[in-house]
Structure 1
């Protein structure tokens, strides 16, 4: 029987491509079981872990990571990488603090969002038009944004307070904190975009095989550029929420956030090579990292130990990704006969 030939010249992408098939669902299920085990262990070790107040604190503290992780997942699926998000979050907060006396709190909030978006645009242009490696590009803007945050703030923590603005960080709807609602809505919106829109399905193709996508007349650079812009916007939004939550902006805020985001996203099943990943997996990955941080705090472990655990999680996530890609030669672990 002859096969039908697609004569449209357009790439064929299956429905719900973002779910990645049964394999990805199995991985997410396994990750969820692992998360459940972490919850049980922490509940045994600390009687305060499962209290309603602690669980709310956990979700609020994880909201910054979650907001950035949504768009980082989309960017990495499209074959990109952004190491500047932590510095971008800090810069957005400082921009809000510096501009509030000039344009009011809502104008300052817009300025913070714009600063994050512009850093994302700069990253995208340097990667897609100047053709600078994504790691080098975003590592450079990491230092630029962090340095700018220190210069604008004179190295000091700047107070930011407005009653209405503070609701973004400390308000609640139906008993759930606003930062958590923002993160949840972004996950839902991201899922819809990645699974039910042409843009989302195209990102999977661009990340999976950029050359084939180009030959199929997909505007590869445009898709990647917009993904970097969205990543920058998410950092700006996270900066807004974090500043509203803390009533202040610090130039050293969100230090190391970029590595926590990558760990959560890769742990959730998104490939560093692009073309594979799910926001559902990222959601579980974010919960794992947030829960570990919360649990270590409850157990009174110092920040030094927390860094060791976070670094170990990042290494494990990358190692798991390499096993998924089949790039690890298992023969080296076998004894020679």
Structure 2
């Protein structure tokens, strides 16, 4: 009964969050379009979709990672190194191999992060913060702090390809989001990821291979960041050494706004994609109305702080409900208290102590 009630509350919270995000998205579009009537044209919508597709692809990997109770702050640097590496390789090997090499590099860097977190057994926040700086240094060294340009047209074709007027990165985002969304919500792997993020010790006792799962999550997260990076390089026809700076802020903000808890164990791809759209529309809208683009960073940072605060308050309320339900089951007639012979006076005393604690 308590489990069903908890599921009902989580489902209701998710629905309210998604409706709120959808309302913000629609309202933002209407307000910006009233100031700049060209904002909601088909061409501009396609441009906004393209810009947010790179954030969205990386957000898919980060969603799985954070649902599993982990975090990677280095995705912006992985994004940058994958794009620079793919662009440099495209000058000396086949473009297809260059693209695959960039994606593989992203997966390898994600695996390295996972191995360090697993071996040192410390907070992934500290490890990946160091990786962020280390990998960004590699970007500067590999690129010589210069933009890589003059790439073959066949390399650029993959990122600039359109189908039914939709850019290829957006189509890839849609495919990846649907597949991962199904995996997370309807498969055994998805349930294991959620169980691991919710309670690692309990998941291990239930037979979940925590080491393999954690390494897999970090690897997939790096792969998605690498995929976003090579697509960006292909789309732009080159790569700059500062590509991906601040990228992790947009991705993590979208993931948390989309309902993925910082402590792990919960989250859905649909909510994250809504949040990605909100972030993309707000940033594009700020430019469309003629405001300073840096205001977009301010909004993103503020949204992240707000999302973390809401997540923490929600977690506290959920824990309070769980304690209250457990206490009610304990003290109900015929419950645990009766079975162990606890008197009504002792039950009342226990109830008071629980409420004070």
Q: Are 1:169 and 2:159 an aligned pair?
A: yes
Give the equivalent residue in structure 2 for 1:310. Answer: 300
Instruction: Quote the residue 2:27 is aligned against.
Output: 37
Secondary structure of 2:241's aligned partner: coil
SS in 2 for 1:326: helix
Residues 175 and 304 of structure 1, relative CA distance in 2, 3 Å threshold: closer
Equivalenced residue count is 316
Compute the TM-score of the two structures, normalised by the length of structure 1.
0.89
Work out whether residues 79 and 208 of structure 1, in 8 Å CA contact, stay in contact via their aligned partners in 2. yes
Deviation larger for 26-35 or 201-210 = 26-35
For 1:102-251, what aligned pairs fall within 5 Å after superposition? 102-159=92-149, 161-251=151-241
Partner in structure 1 of residue 349 of structure 2: none
Q: 5 Å matches for 1:19-58?
A: 21-58=11-48
CA contact (8 A) 1:160 1:244 kept: no
Unaligned segments of structure 2, at least 5 residues: 319-357
Per the normalisation by structure 2, the TM-score is 0.84
The aligned counterpart of 1:75 is 65
The answer for unaligned runs of 5 or more in structure 1 is 4-12, 329-337
- Structure 2 vs 1, CA of residues 155 and 47 (structure 1 numbering), >3 Å: closer, same or farther? same
Query: Judging changes above 3 Å, is the alpha-carbon distance between structure 1 residues 194 and 78 closer, same or farther for their aligned structure 2 residues?
Result: same
CA RMSD, aligned part only? Answer: 2.2
- Aligned with 1:129: secondary structure? helix
Q: What does residue 257 of structure 2 align with?
A: 267
Please say if residues 20 and 277 of structure 1, whose CA atoms lie closer than 8 Å, have aligned partners that are also in contact. Answer: no
Residue 160 of structure 1: CA displacement? 5.1
Which residue, 240, 244, 268 being the options, matches 1:254?
244
Match of 1:85 among 70, 75, 84: 75
Moved more, 53-62 or 91-100: 91-100
Q: Which has the higher helix share?
A: 2
Deviation, structure 1 residue 215: 1.4
> Residue in 2 aligned with 1:300?
290
1:95 paired with 2:66, answer: no
Post-superposition CA distance 1:45-103 (Å, at most 9, x none): 22111111110110001111000001101100000101000110110011112222332
Q: Which runs of 4+ in 1 moved over 4 A?
A: none
SS at match of 1:249: coil
Aligned-residue offset at 1:20: 5.3
**Structure 2 partner of 1:59:** 49
Report deviation, 1:168.
2.2
Give the whole-Å Cα distance in 2 for the aligned partners of 1:27 and 1:303.
27
Q: CA deviation at 1:324?
A: 1.5
